[in-house]
Chain A
Amino acid sequence: MTTARNRYNKRISLALRTALVLSAGVVIFSLAFAIFFVLIRGLPHISSELFATDYSRKNQSVLPALWNTAQIVLLALFFAVPTATGAALFCCEYTTRRWCGVLCAVSDTIASLPSVVFGLFGMTLFCVTCGLGYSLMSGALTVSLMLFPIIFDSVKRGIESLPSEQRAGALALGSGKTALIIRIVVPHCARYLVSGCSLAVSRVLAESAALLFTSGTAPGYAAPDAAGRTLAVHIYCLAAEGASIDKAYACAALLLILSGGFSLAARLIKSGTVRNRQKE
């Protein structure tokens, strides 16, 4: 290699290095800026006033929104977890590879749909056709549709990671399919299921587009059959009104911490599982 070419090579690589470092700097700086901006603007406004038990025009308390969010999360998990777990078990334990492929394709398709589409679908199906109206129930049903693929995927991964020796051992000891599933497969998948649920919770917390027109925007505490806004929708409404932007930032900081925490927890639980398996 000639020296001239070497020099050329070096110059290019210097330029490339600058480009790489610069772009990494831009990405990390801007994301960190966005997060810290929201936290710094929001955290000082988290006060006892924000958690007042009564919601009023003057003081938009966050407690009703939190209460509604908790209800929607629990209801959505209640609908999604058994169905998706059952489907994953069917997919991995009972059926042929072709039907398993069909189920996986369905779940992938659902995972790729935008959340607005779920909102529109949920509104026409649950609010109008089923007559539930704007209510937490129809919001939870809509969101549980979005959670199917998340839970299905994580449980399926758990089942697939079960060592085949355990399965063979159980069968050799004369267990039937049911005993195999209840005693061996489900305990093995428990951590994957919890990690999937944690991810699902962070997804529900973050959801606004699908809930705006299914669970409504009514402030205040709501029963499952009444309209009520979740935390994300609450932020959207506060920002749209524009009157109490400080409250919106306080809620945003709260939501940021909650949903980031749940998604990190999902990651930690899952990676813990992986490490344990390697040790075995």
Chain B
Amino acid sequence: MKICVYLPHKAATSFPRLSKFTAEASPPAPKPRRVPSGARRGEREGLALGRAPRTGSALRGGRAQTEHRFSSVGERLMYGTVLACAVAFASVCAAVPVNLAKSSAKLFDKYGAANVIFGREWSPVESLFGLLPMLISTVYLAALTAVISFPVGVCCALWIYRYCSEKTKSALRGALSAVAAIPSVVFGLFGLSVVMPTMEKMGLNGHSAVSASVLLSLMTMPTLVMLCLDALESVKPEMYEAARSLGVEKEYAAVTVELLCAKKDIAAACSVSCARAVAEATAVLMISGNQTTFPTSPLNGVRTLAEHILLECGYASGEHRMALMTAALLLCVMSGALCVLKIPLERKQRR
């Protein structure tokens, strides 16, 4: 005899396997409605075959849930609240890029996109809104930072990964995550009173791209090292062990095998730290010279897009503000493109 379980209608529909069960137990009950949704069918099969369901999703009920009529007021209220939250969340977040794009579209209409993005002159008084110097400076500063920080950061991550005990490793991770939370103003202050005077003592220009990139590599280092550690830890340990058992030296194996295995994820880590460098405004503002010229030498001052916005947004209005919105849009595109590379790494970690 089959055990008959009392199931309210709600639970029966939201839990496909049980609905099948009740259908068997009580003959007059109608067959479960066929839903031509791939997701739901897949989930039901996943449960029926006893495969491990993906977390939470198996009982979530996919599409059936959205079609489901909520019987009581409480259910409806909850659904409404949560839906309102989600809609508010998505719409407010989507408003940011849409707003930027709208303003820049207006400016592009009047002056032409090429004249704004590739214009060489920035002079709002004469209605010249060329953003090219700032664009080039941003790329230049990011590249300079990359040259300084990538080799050091990757090597440091490799050292922590290979030479530190588990205890030290977790302590260092904690310390790095705390360092990553240090406000950029504090770094700016540090740059202003340590990096800049040091440069000037060496007879070089203190307010320059070099000092800004030294400061930026210091700021992005914790993120870079932590992400590189994640990347290295996702490499199978068998690879290293196989190399070692073939008689390869420890460091040689670490570099040639593990670093090469993790190269995609390390590239992602580097691009994310680059995105942080591109996005930084306050600290760079305090130390790079802020001239709106093309960067001719690393010892000259630069003005990146982020600084540009921060410097001028206080007194900008009308078209001037629209031009800053365009700068913000360019900045978003740059940092977004650099961050997209991170997604495969995160997906791998979740697995």
A-to-B contact residues, CB < 8 Å: 1, 9-10, 12-14, 16-17, 19-24, 26-28, 30-31, 34-35, 37-38, 41, 82-87, 89-97, 102-103, 106-121, 123-125, 145, 148, 152, 159-162, 164, 167-168, 171-172, 174-178, 181, 202-203, 205-209, 212-213, 232-233, 235-236, 239-240, 245, 248-249, 252, 255-256, 259-260, 262-264, 267
Contact = CB atoms under 8 A, between A and B. Distances in A.
A86 B82 contact: yes
Nearest to B52: A164
Contact of A116 (B78, B84, B163, B306): B306
A172 to B, nearest CB: 7
Nearest to A111: B339
B183 A115 contact: no
A117 B331 CA distance: 8
B313 A213 contact: yes
B55 interface: yes
Given A38-B189, A174-B8, A255-B186, A164 B58 contact: yes
B102 to A, nearest CB: 11
A86 B74 contact: no
Contacts of A236: 185, 188, 282, 286
Contacts of A107: 89, 93
Contact of A9 (B96, B156, B225, B249): B249
A177 B14 contact: yes
Interface in B151-182: 151-153, 155-156, 158-160, 162-163, 174, 177-182
A23 B181 contact: no
Contacts of B183: 205-208, 232, 235, 255-256, 259
B186 A256 contact: yes
B332 interface: yes
Contacts of A252: 185-186, 189
B177 A267 contact: yes
A109 B328 CA distance: 14
A120 to B, nearest CB: 5
A37 B218 CA distance: 14
Interface stretch (B62-70, B205-213, B293-301): B62-70
Interface of B: 5-8, 10-11, 14-15, 18, 39, 53, 55-60, 62-63, 65-66, 70, 72, 74-75, 77-79, 81-86, 88-90, 92-97, 99-100, 103, 151-153, 155-156, 158-160, 162-163, 174, 177-190, 192-194, 218, 221-222, 225, 247-252, 254-255, 275, 278-282, 286, 306, 309-310, 313-314, 321, 324-325, 328, 331-332, 335-336, 338-339, 343
- At the interface, is chain A mostly helix, strand, loop or mixed? helix
A252 B84 CA distance: 40
Contact of B252 (A12, A93, A174): A12
B101 to A, nearest CB: 12
Given A82-B85, A267-B177, A112 B55 contact: no
Query: Closest 10 CB pairs between A and B?
Result: A86-B85, A114-B279, A263-B181, A206-B183, A23-B155, A13-B249, A112-B339, A90-B86, A87-B89, A24-B159
